[in-house]
Amino acid sequence: MKIPFLRSTLIAIFLFALTACSPKPEFKNIDITGGTAFGKDFSLLDPDGKTRTLADFKGKVVLMFFGYTQCPDVCPTTLTEMQQVMTLLGPKADQVQVLFVTVDPERDTPEILKQYVPAFDARFLGLRPADEAALEKIGKDFKIYYKKVPGTSAGSYTMDHTAGSYVFDKEGRLRLYIKHAQGPETLAHDLKELLK
């Protein structure tokens, strides 16, 4: 009677020791694991009009960036960097999903997103809010800043917006905030940590 109890106690102690000794990932970007009450999920439309949520990408590390297709600098630079990260990851890149979420759904139609985003990497996916209320909701849910800035001619404008990105692990937990212009090696390092 005592032997099964002793055996199960020893197994429990051994398993606890294994988890206690597991090295904590050493990220180069901002680790926000467990400390966030935001960014739990989203409901956005893909270029084919299908509603996408975080659950659609379970089993992959998800890299989420907010921007717009007519952005002159930050967005194309970030997407190019993300493409370089995918190259650095090699075969592991198939376990990563890059999502580009537009903050300018007025101009970023499904057709434009379908052409623009995969031009950087065929695996990248462009998403858009269904309407202004959905844009406001995702802005609040992910604590991102965006603002329309009038241009020099009537009807022209740019969008000021948050330049960082978020990373979810394979279980759909928000883990990292990626600062803009860190370089592909830094981001690849952090994604490799999450892919272990």
Beta bridge partners of 66: 101
97, part of any domain: yes
Residue 43: CB atoms within 10 Å: 15
36, part of any domain: yes
71, part of any domain: yes
The range of the structural domain enclosing residue 48 comes to: 23-195
153, part of any domain: yes
Per the CB < 8 A criterion, the answer to whether 75 and 67 are in contact is yes
3, part of any domain: no
83, part of any domain: yes
CATH of the domain at 88: 3.40.30.10
158, part of any domain: yes
Percent of the chain with pLDDT over 70: 87
Total-model pTM: 0.86
Q: Is 75 annotated as a binding residue?
A: yes
Structurally, the chain folds into a number of domains equal to 1
What's the one-letter identity of residue 31? Answer: D
* Opening angle at CA 29, ends 184 and 25, nearest 5: 105
Q: Is 21 annotated as a binding residue?
A: no
10, part of any domain: no
**Residue-wise pLDDT tens digits, 70-126:** 999 999 999 999 999 999 999 999 999 999 999 999 999 999 999 999 999 999 999
